[in-house]
Amino acid sequence: MSFYGLRGDVEHRLMTEHLAALQKLFQEAKAPSFFSDNLIALNRNLSFLYDEKFMNAFSAAADKNIPEDEAKLWRLHTLAWCGRTALNVPGDFVECGVYKGLYSAMLTDYLDWNEIDRRFYLYDTFAGLPDDWSSEMERSTVSDGYEWDGTYDAVCARFAHYQNVDVVKGVVPDILAERAPKQIALLHLDLNAAKAEVAALDFLGPRLSDGAIVLMDDFGRKEQLELAEALMGWWTAHDHPILELPTGQGMVTVNAAKLQT
């Protein structure tokens, strides 16, 4: 069970006193339930649990010693769907905000990426949020619990068996001008920084294929309101609605004609 964003003592009471009882009730009734990542779903089919290929990719990518990895199961299911669907349109895949590569490792495994004639660009400073492209508030939210030492080398090693994955170290958006695909089918934004995500959209938006998918990992998170407002502003200005998912993610399917200006 992973619930966050409340005062520590409230968080603890929520999980141990209230949610634990509800979860037990559902377990005893042998009724399906999901209690994780600030998301409670009761009596849903949870069909992704029976997608063997997805569950194998998830288990291989998630670190068993990191509860936050395991908690992201539903978010990873969303990305898996987006990735598979994005194969219907031309273009490469891009992730801005990679950290240790949890999401991208799951997706490349799930899609048998070596068999796919596209590239996957993974952008990160591998050193945290740069001051010029994030607010103090955003830095304080993300820095807790993140360790950067050796991350770049570890991510390069993690994807070394793929010929078509580019691990690119640099600051978004600056690095995009140096190295970015011309046509994009999937864009995963997970920088946790409003200014940088908007700048990435400014640069990459005109390169998104018609029907491309943009998945924004933190769009619906209350702790990231600054980010949600910035993303909402950008997409509204380009006349695209955002689907806010119960996982906290936001998703858009692209009408390329509206992003060419």
Ligand X SMILES: C[S@@+](CC[C@H](N)C(=O)[O-])C[C@H]1O[C@@H](n2cnc3c(N)ncnc32)[C@H](O)[C@@H]1O
Crossing angle of helices 225-237/136-143, nearest 10°? 120
3-state secondary structure of 244: strand
Q: Does 201 bind ligand X (CB under 6 A)?
A: no
102 or 184, CB closer to ligand X? 102
- Taking contact as CB under 6 A, which single stretch among the options 100-108, 153-161, 222-230, 240-248 is the one that binds ligand X? 100-108
C-beta of 184: minimal distance to ligand X in Å? 17
- Cβ–Cβ under 8 Å, residues 219 and 194: no
Q: How far is the CB of 104 from ligand X (least distance, A)?
A: 6
Which lies closer to ligand X via its Cβ, residue 37 or residue 190? 190
Give the binding range for ligand X (CB under 6 A) out of 156-164, 192-200, 202-210, 228-236: 192-200
Binding to ligand X in span 117-176, by CB under 6 A:
123-125, 128-130, 133-134, 142, 171-172
Per CB under 6 A, contacts with ligand X among 36-55 are: none
CA-CA distance, 104 to 94, in Å (whole number)?
9
Can you give the length of the chain in residues?
Answer: 261
In angstroms, the CA 174 to CA 192 distance is 17
Nearer to ligand X, 93 or 133 (CB): 133
> Does 230 help bind ligand X (rule: CB under 6 A)?
no
**Identified binder of ligand X from the candidate list 54, 58, 74, 103, rule CB under 6 A:** 103
108 binds ligand X (CB under 6 A): no
Q: Among 41-49, 91-99, 177-185, 226-234, which window interacts with ligand X (CB under 6 A)?
A: 91-99
Query: Which residue lies nearer to ligand X by CB, 135 or 183?
Result: 135
Q: Which two tokens stand for residue 44?
A: 């849903």
List strands edge to edge, sheet with 250-253.
165-169, 120-124, 92-96, 184-189, 208-216, 250-253, 243-244
**Least distance CB 212 / ligand X (angstroms):** 18
**Does the footprint of ligand X cover residue 193 (CB under 6 A)?**
yes
Is there a contact between 223 and 172 (Cβ–Cβ < 8 Å)? Answer: no
> What residues pair up with 84 in beta bridges, in sequence order?
none
Site for ligand X contains 190 (CB under 6 A): yes
Query: Is there binding between residue 192 and ligand X (CB under 6 A)?
Result: yes
Q: Is residue 216 helix, strand or coil?
A: strand
| Residue 102 near ligand X by CB under 6 A | yes
231, 242 in Cβ contact below 8 A? yes
C-alpha 254/C-alpha 213 separation (Å) is 6
